[in-house]
C-alpha cells in the first residue's frame, strides 16, 4: 500500500522545486517536442511539479494521483499561484476517467498500476503527440550524498523496484520506438538558516531510513552549502527520460 506523504514532505517538495533544478531541467529538454501542443496530463502527479510547470506555460492540464492529500496540496498551490486550466483527478490510473491530450508526463510514479503493461499502454492511448517517462537511473536510492553514510552505519539503502532499464524494456516490448536521455541534476533542500539543521536531520532521517545520529548531522554539516541566498543541502541525482514521439508529431514533420 502506498505510504502517504507527510505535511512536511509536501512543504519541502514545494521548496525544492522552487529552488532546485527539478523539474526544470526536464521541462527545458521537453520544450522542443511541445510545438503545437496545448494539453498535458501529469500521471502520478504527486503534489504536481510538472502540472504546475505546464500550467504556468499556458497548457490545459490534467493531474492524476491516487493520493487525495497530494491533490489537495496541489489545489492549494494552484490557488496560491493564481493558476488556471488544471483539472485534478483522484484515483487509480487504470480506473481514472481522463481526456485525451497532446502530451503525457509520468515522473517517478511507476509503482502500482501505472508501471504495468496495461498502465503504460493507457498512457500511449491518451497522449497524441508525445509522452515522457522519467525514471531513476539506478535502483539504489542514496539521496543527499549518503552512499558512504549507509556503509558506515551498516544499513542497506532504500531501493526502487526497478530502474529505467526495466521501464525501457516494458515500453519496447509494446513495439514503441523511443529515445532515452540521461540527466544529472540537483534536487536539494533549502534551509532558511543553519538553525533548521536539527529538523532537517529528523526529516531526512525518516525519509532515508537513517537514524538521526550525530554522525548523520556531521554529514549534513559537511555537505551544506549556499544557493539563492539560502543554506542548501545538495542532493545530486541521476535520472533517465524516455521520450516517445507520437503519430501526430511524426506526421507534422513529413
In the numeric block, the cell 491530450 is attached to 101
Distance of CA 205 to the CA centre of its chain: 20
Task: Using the predicted structure, report yes or no on whether residue 249 has a pLDDT greater than 50.
Answer: no
DSSP secondary structure code for residue 159 in this structure: B
Task: Please state, in angstroms and rounded to a whole number, the distance separating the CA atoms of residues 41 and 43.
Answer: 6
Q: What is the CATH number of the domain that holds 51?
A: 3.40.50.150
Please give, one letter per residue, the 3-state secondary structure of 114-132.
CCCHHHHHHHHHHEEEEEE
Q: Determine the structural domain holding residue 179 and report its residue range.
A: 7-142+159-188+237-247
Q: Is residue 180 part of a domain?
A: yes
Task: Report if residue 107 sits inside a domain.
Answer: yes
Span 107-141, pLDDT tens digits? 999 988 999 999 999 999 999 999 999 999 998 98
One-character DSSP codes across 4-39? PPPHHHHHHHHHHHHHSSTTHHHHHHHGGG-TT--E
pLDDT of residue 250: 41
> Is there a domain that residue 70 lies in?
yes
Look at residue 69 and tell me if it is in a domain.
yes
Predicted local confidence at residue 228, as pLDDT: 84
The pLDDT of 175-185, averaged and rounded, is: 96
The C-alpha atoms of residue 136 and residue 127 are separated, in whole angstroms, by 22
pLDDT averaged over every residue in the chain: 91
- Residue 15, in any domain of the structure: yes
Q: Mean pLDDT, to the nearest integer, of 158-168?
A: 87
Q: Is residue 210 in some structural domain?
A: no
Structural domain total, the chain? 1
Across residues 84-103, what is the average pLDDT? 96
Q: What is the pLDDT of residue 199?
A: 87
SS3 106: strand
Say what the pLDDT of residue 246 is.
84
Q: Does 253 score more than 60 pLDDT?
A: no
Q: Is residue 242 part of a domain?
A: yes
Output the pLDDT for position 252: 45
Tell me the Ramachandran region of residue 175: left when phi exceeds 0, alpha when psi lies from -120 to 50, beta otherwise: left
C-alpha–C-alpha distance, residues 126 and 11, integer Å: 31
pLDDT of residue 254: 41
Per residue in 188-243, pLDDT (tens digit) is 999 878 888 888 898 888 889 999 899 999 999 999 999 888 899 999 999 999 99
Is residue 113 one of the residues assigned to a domain? yes
Q: What is the CA radius of gyration of the chain?
A: 19
- Cell 494552484 found at: 78
CB 96 within 8 A of CB 83: no
Mean pLDDT of 20-37: 96
Using the predicted structure, report yes or no on whether residue 106 has a pLDDT greater than 90: yes
Per-residue pLDDT at 2:
58
pLDDT over 90, % of the chain: 77
Q: Cell digits for 95?
A: 480506473
Q: How many residues does the chain have?
A: 254
**Rounded distance between C-alpha atoms, residue 116 and residue 95, angstroms:** 13
- Eight-class DSSP state of 140: B
Res 247: pLDDT: 63
DSSP 35: T
Q: What is the DSSP letter of 236?
A: E
Amino acid 193: pLDDT? 82
Average pLDDT over residues 94-114: 95
Cβ–Cβ under 8 Å, residues 22 and 42: no
Amino acid at each position: 500500500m502506498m505510504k502517504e506523504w507527510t505535511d512536511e514532505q509536501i512543504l519541502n517538495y514545494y521548496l525544492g522545486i522552487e529552488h532546485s533544478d527539478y523539474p526544470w531541467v526536464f521541462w527545458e529538454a521537453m520544450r522542443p517536442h511541445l510545438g503545437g501542443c496545448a494539453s498535458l496530463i501529469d500521471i502520478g502527479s504527486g503534489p504536481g511539479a510538472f502540472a504546475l510547470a505546464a500550467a504556468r506555460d499556458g497548457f490545459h492540464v490534467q493531474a492524476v494521483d491516487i493520493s487525495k492529500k497530494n491533490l489537495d496540496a496541489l489545489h492549494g498551490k494552484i490557488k496560491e499561484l493564481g493558476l488556471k486550466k488544471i483539472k485534478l483527478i483522484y484515483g487509480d490510473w487504470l480506473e481514472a476517467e481522463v481526456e485525451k491530450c497532446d502530451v503525457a508526463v509520468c515522473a517517478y510514479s511507476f509503482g502500482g498500476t501505472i508501471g504495468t503493461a496495461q498502465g503504460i499502454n493507457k498512457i500511449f492511448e491518451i497522449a497524441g503527440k508525445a509522452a515522457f517517462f522519467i525514471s531513476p537511473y539506478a535502483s539504489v536510492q542514496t539521496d543527499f550524498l549518503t552512499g558512504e553514510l549507509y556503509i558506515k552505519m551498516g544499513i542497506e539503502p532504500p531501493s526502487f523496484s526497478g530502474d529505467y532499464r526495466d521501464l525501457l524494456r516494458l515500453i519496447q516490448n509494446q513495439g514503441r520506438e523511443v529515445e532515452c536521455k540521461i540527466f544529472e541534476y540537483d534536487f536539494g533542500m533549502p534551509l532558511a538558516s543553519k538553525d533548521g539543521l536539527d529538523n532537517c536531520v529528523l526529516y531526512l532521517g525518516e525519509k532515508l531510513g537513517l537514524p538521526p545520529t550525530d554522525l548523520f548531522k556531521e554529514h549534513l554539516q559537511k555537505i551544506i552549502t549556499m544557493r539563492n541566498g539560502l543554506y542548501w543541502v545538495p542532493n545530486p541525482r541521476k535520472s533517465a527520460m524516455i521520450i516517445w514521439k507520437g503519430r501526430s508529431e511524426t506526421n507534422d514533420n513529413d
